[in-house]
Amino acid sequence: MRHFLDINKTDPSELRSIIDRAAAMKTARNGRPKGTPDDDQPLAGRMVALIFEKPSTRTRVSFDVGVRQMGGQTMVLSGSEMQLGHGETIADTARVLSRYVDLIMIRTFEEQTLLEMAEYATVPVINGLTNRSHPCQIMADVMTFEEHRGPIRGRKVVWSGDGNNVCGSFIHAAGQFGFDLTFTGPETLDPEAGFVDEARAKGSNIVIERDPARAVQGADLVVTDTWVSMHDPQSARERRHNQLRGYQVNSALMEQAKDDALFMHCLPAHRDDEATSEVMDGPHSVIFDEAENRLHAQKAIMRWCLGV
């Protein structure tokens, strides 16, 4: 059984096959209406549970639409309305859900919840974001980069801002897909050292550079994310804004990157905080392609998990 828990836990050749299939499935739909089924119906007769312990727009809708396009059915569950949110163990929840559904996607807080779900479920489990990582997002981002610019191997990606969960999965991807990544942000918000060490051990050049203008020199891709994540206490908001203001992605910063550099943001964004609207809506930006590619990448991830 194949769980999709993290990019660094999935073999590079499997990751590549998922991206290739996502691209092929996207092409096969060839702009047909969103509500129409795919020609292939690999999820026919299958039921997928989508569990959310945090808010979501993209993950929720893209998984739901993706399952339906492939002929399956979904149930969207909010953690607080399940017994899970009222003291039932994750292990028991996993064992029960496995009797009803064929696949579980969960967005949660602690990574331990995801890992326990995967340990006790007898069906595949997909990570739809934890406090530590967001692998589905970065699969879509790699797909998006390659769609616009060709192979990501050997390219320079710059992450500006908070070394958060999305940044963590980008660092995992650097190791697995063989690109280089420069992190620029304040020391207190550095990405996890273990993630950095692991990507370096796989041959990726991971650089920490405090000066954002220097960091983005020669960048093929500049990425940022919200300064305050869903798991961060709101009380940290003002301090983080003060710490991160200098790492805003604006036109002046993008000018330091390569002329054809792309700009990405997983969304939702706080416009004119972490990135200006000028950049988000400007010529480098591929933010809505990223959002669309969540759909295609996750369809390929679900097929991989189910072996269909």
Residue 212: how many other CB atoms lie within 10 Å: 22
Q: Which residue has the tokens 């390929």?
A: 300
225 is catalytic: yes
294 is catalytic: yes
Catalytic, 266? Answer: yes
Using the contact rule CB under 6 A, the part of the chain among 31-39, 51-59, 191-199, 272-280 near ligand CP is: 51-59
Pairwise CA distance, residues 284 & 292, whole Å: 17
Residue 113 touching ligand NVA (CB under 6 A): no
Quote the least distance from Cβ 58 to ligand CP, whole Å.
4
Among 125, 266, 297, 306, binds ligand CP (CB under 6 A): 266
Task: Name residues contacting ligand NVA, limited to 199-238 (CB under 6 A).
Answer: 225-226, 229-230
**Of residues 18, 43, 166, 215, which one binds ligand NVA by CB under 6 A?**
166
Number of residues that this document lists for the chain: 308
Question: How far is the C-alpha of 55 from the C-alpha of 151, rounded, in Å?
Answer: 33
Q: Which of residues 114-153 bind ligand NVA (CB under 6 A)?
A: 129
* 38 a catalytic residue: no
Instruction: Look at residue 207 and give the partner it binds from ligand CP, ligand NVA, none, a contact being a CB closer than 5 to 8 Å depending on partner kind.
Output: none
Task: Say whether residue 56 binds ligand CP (CB under 6 A).
Answer: yes
Residue 229 contact, options ligand CP, ligand NVA, none, Cβ 5-8 Å cut-off depending on partner type: ligand NVA
The answer to whether residue 59 forms part of the interface with ligand CP (CB under 6 A) is yes
CA angle 148, 150, 305 (to 5 degrees): 90
- Measured between alpha carbons, how far is 166 from 228 in angstroms, rounded to an integer? 12
Q: Decide: 3 and 124 in contact? Cβ < 8 Å.
A: yes
For residue 269, the minimal CB distance to ligand CP (Å) is 10
Q: Does residue 107 have an active-site annotation?
A: yes
Phi then psi for residue 67, to 5 deg, are: -60, -45
Residue 171 to residue 173: CA distance in whole angstroms = 5
Phi-psi region of 153 (alpha: psi -120 to 50; beta: other; left: phi over 0): beta
Q: Nearest CA to 287 among 262, 265, 269, 257?
A: 265
Q: What is the DSSP letter of 188?
A: G
Query: 3 catalytic, yes or no?
Result: no
* The only residue of 105, 266, 280, 300 in contact with ligand NVA, by rule CB under 6 A: 266
Tell me if 22 sits within 8 A of 52, measured CB to CB: no
Min dist. Cβ of residue 190 to ligand NVA (A): 15
Per-residue tokens: 267? 């969304």
Binding mask 121-160 for ligand CP (x = CB under 6 A): --------x-------x-----------------------
206 CB contacts (<8 Å, ≥6 apart)?
Answer: 171, 174, 180, 181, 182, 183, 196, 199, 200
Which residue among the candidates 3, 132, 134, 303 is catalytic per the annotation? 134
Minimum CB distance to ligand CP, residue 40 (Å): 26
Tell me the chain's radius of gyration from C-alpha atoms: 19
Q: Interface with ligand CP by CB under 6 A: which residues?
A: 56-59, 129, 137, 266-268
Q: Interface with ligand NVA by CB under 6 A: which residues?
A: 129, 164-166, 225-226, 229-230, 266
Active-site residues, by number, are 107, 134, 137, 225, 266, 294
